[in-house]
Chain A
Amino acid sequence: MKQRHGFSIARWWSLVLKEFTQLRRDRLTFAMIAGIPILQTALFGYAINTNPKHLDTAIISADDTNITRSIIAAMQNSSYFKVVGELPNEAAAREALARGRLLFVVSIPAGFTRQLLRHERPSLLIEADATDPTATGSALAAVNGIVQSVVQREIAGPLAMLQGGPAPFEVNVHQLYNPESITQYNVVPGVMGMVLTLTMVMMTGLAITRERERGTMENLLAMPATPMEVMTGKLIPYIGIGLIQASIILLAARFIFHIPFLGNIGAVYLSTLLFIAANLTVGITFSSLARNQLQAVQLAIFYFLPNILLSGFMFPFKGMPTWAQMIGNLLPLTYFNRLIRGILLKANGWADSWPNVWPMMVFTVALMAVAVATYRRTLD
């Protein structure tokens, strides 16, 4: 007997329509579709700064001369340090650091200038609250150069011989792609992947478990729709939503954060589509595992955490130990982050992007196979 298992466009379209209608009725979810990308982009874009400046600094000065005043002024001018006051002694400095009122204390010892002029290599002491290395790192890296330049400028004329000769070689550093180390260049494109991961996985996970939890899945299964129709019909609306979210973030990136769009915008959207597909397969797989909507949300969060922490979104991927990088390499967000930053900031082309494209493809196909295999066509 001939069986008609063919894919019906009409049935598939009715499933898409139904999903859109239900989505439209769910005001909160609908609001979140636009709300999440706007809120996250604004929050992360404005809030995160891995190159912090204007850090509170106090001075313990036992030597008040033109030179020491110039050094302090130069530190302020570098914009890394903000001198908030003077402290009488070391004990007061320790207390202020311990209480977190200050990040830096600069101690200028008595006779600093005199020793300097006598060529005795005096020391400046900078104490930093280094509990958070990111907070103090950039400032400390810059401080030697700042002081050096002051000394070179201030000690002129007959004392010029104190400067010491120039180094026998020169190191030229070119900070490519983001010369000013603007954190937003890195963070805002990263937010895109994070938002898509969160909404795509959770929404598709919920969309299918909701049918099961409310008992409507039984009705759907009793109708002639094939698993392929049901699954793709439920997913298409979310692909649209993902693209809308990506567009919101890209608009904000371009016009609010002025992130350079060096690469091809078509390539950005193609990568986004592939990434959405990868996340949807995760969502479907979770929906087959979860018995109810609560479990689906829990699974989504469980998946979301390593994605934030290990994908290179928040912390440098290369800074992680090998085992953590291996976990990160299993996550599509890792590749998407590289892909999108590469296209936007480095104008990466097809050949540069391919190493990050194929792992996402493999991921999507593998999970799709799992999802189709586990989709419960019959109720047992």
Chain B
Amino acid sequence: MTDVSNLEYTVDVQGLNKHFGNKHVVRDLSLRVRRGEIFGFLGPNGSGKTTTIRMMCGLLKPDSGTGTCLGYDILRDSAEIKRRVGYMTQKFSFWEDLTITENLDFVARMYEIPSRRQAVRESLEGLGLTARAAQLAGDLSGGWKQRMALAACMLHKPDLLLLDEPTAGVDPRARRDFWDEIQSLAAKGISVLVSTHYMDEAVRCHKLAYIASGTLLVQGSAAEVIAGQHLSTWAIHGNRLSELQQTLRQQPGVAQTVTFGDVLHVSGTDANQLQRIVESAVGSSGRRAEPIDTSLEDVFIYLMGRREEQSGGQP
């Protein structure tokens, strides 16, 4: 049971619920992460992503629900799970008053890694931080902190990485390097569950889940998620787009309008109706409209909006 290579799902949880006081933070959440899969976890702030991740790695006990993580029961075997999972917290949570080496060494000792010194040295080399090994972790820049955190999470060679918004506040170059690294880890068979707000990161995931107000709304590959919402989208180019956006928004067949720079995306669930609306709106105004593939971002904004409508419409 401990041999991960025989497991189909490294994370397999069903019906997780968590309350903080009388706030229902996670509702009936079920999800599965395959071995070697990069699983993107998306959703607005405060939607329950961090709570879900904490329940998976044994930091929080779910109020109800069952599940396994690397084959271990998340309710009973949290000690076993902690040994085998690499968890990177949203906020940098290593010791800023310890040097990089001291931090890595401490982590290595905590996981009782055999040939500890060598593991730490290799980790430093892998990071390219050998020269700055004696620097305090608190003096590192955001990008380096996050690389150090990832290296520390990987020291004990976990089979599953849980990364909670690892790239928040990191520059684009460092983000790209970080994701290259994650993809090479996944290629080695490590499963990665990563929460993010960035669409360019979401499209690099094998699988996605979208959570809002504690409820998992969709789950699947990017293509499945897009297809599942049955949205057609038109792109409108031209001038005075915000004026046009105002009028289009009132139309019953238009689900949403989003401006991306000088392009207006108009989406709706009924393709024929949407075409009529867009064509009549553009008319002879000199603007230009064309049907495009609905993007992941369109879908997520649509999901977020719908969720707000639903929760707003209910008493």
**B297 at interface (Cβ–Cβ under 8 A)?**
no
Task: Tell me whether B308 is interfacial, beta carbon within 8 Å.
Answer: no
Assembly CA distance A247 to B94 (angstroms): 35
The total of interchain contacts (Cβ-Cβ below 8 angstroms) comes to 85
Q: Which of A1, A5, A223, A380 contacts B110 (CB 8 A)?
A: A223
Contact of B96 among A14, A17, A214 (CB under 8 A): A214
Check B94–A10 contact: CB distance below 8 A. Answer: no
Q: Decide: A21 and B102 in contact? CB cutoff 8 A.
A: yes
Measured between alpha carbons, how far is A103 from B60 in the docked complex, in Å?
67
Residues of chain B with a CB closer than 8 A to A218's CB: 59, 89, 93
Are B60 and A18 interface neighbours, CB within 8 A? no
Q: Judge whether B82 and A10 touch: CB under 8 Å.
A: no
**What is the minimal beta-carbon distance from B21 to any residue of chain A, in angstroms?**
10
Inter-chain contact B54/A379, CB cutoff 8 Å: yes
Q: Is the CB of A10 within 8 A of B79?
A: no
Please report which residues of chain A, range 186-242, place their CB below 8 angstroms from some CB of chain B when the two chains form the complex: 214-216, 218-219, 221-226
- Residues in B with CB closer than 8 Å to A222 are 57-59, 82, 85, 87, 89
Report the nearest A residue to B71, measured CB to CB: A1
From the candidates A1, A13, A21, A223, name the one contacting B98 in the complex (CB within 8 A): A21
User: Does residue B100 face the partner (Cβ distance < 8 Å to A)?
Assistant: no
Give the shortest distance, in Å, between A223 (CB) and chain B (any CB): 4
Interchain CB contact under 8 A, A22 and B87: no
Q: Is the CB of A22 within 8 A of B80?
A: no
Evaluate whether A219 and B96 lie within 8 angstroms (CB atoms) in the complex, with A224-B111, A378-B61 already known.
no
| Cross-interface CB contact of B95 among A4, A22, A379, cutoff 8 Å | A22
CB distance from B287 to the nearest CB of A (A): 50
The docked-state distance in angstroms from the alpha carbon of A8 to that of B113 is 13
A224 and B79 contact, CB distance less than 8 A: yes
Say whether A25 contacts B97, CB under 8 Å. yes
Instruction: Tell whether, in the assembled complex, residue A379 and residue B60 are in contact, meaning their CB atoms are under 8 Å apart.
Output: yes
How many A residues touch B, CB cutoff 8 Å? Answer: 29
A11 within 8 A of B: yes
Interface-centre pick from A8, A21, A226 (highest chain B CB count, 10 A): A21
For A4, give the chain B residue with the smallest CB separation.
Answer: B79
Residues on the B chain within 8 Å of A21, using CB: 98, 102
B260 contacts A by Cβ under 8 Å: no
Q: Tell me if A175 counts as interface (CB < 8 A to partner B).
A: no
Q: Is the CB of B82 within 8 A of A18?
A: no
Residues of A with C-beta under 8 A to B73: 1
Instruction: Collect the chain B residues with CB atoms within 8 Å of residue A1's CB.
Output: 1, 72-73, 76-77, 80
The 10 closest A-B pairs by CB, nearest first: A14-B109, A219-B93, A222-B87, A223-B110, A215-B93, A215-B91, A25-B97, A224-B83, A224-B82, A216-B93
Additional 17 contacts, C-beta under 8 A, given A13-B109, A223-B82, A378-B60: A1-B77, A4-B79, A4-B80, A8-B112, A10-B109, A18-B98, A18-B102, A21-B98, A215-B92, A216-B94, A218-B89, A219-B89, A221-B59, A222-B85, A223-B107, A378-B59, A378-B78
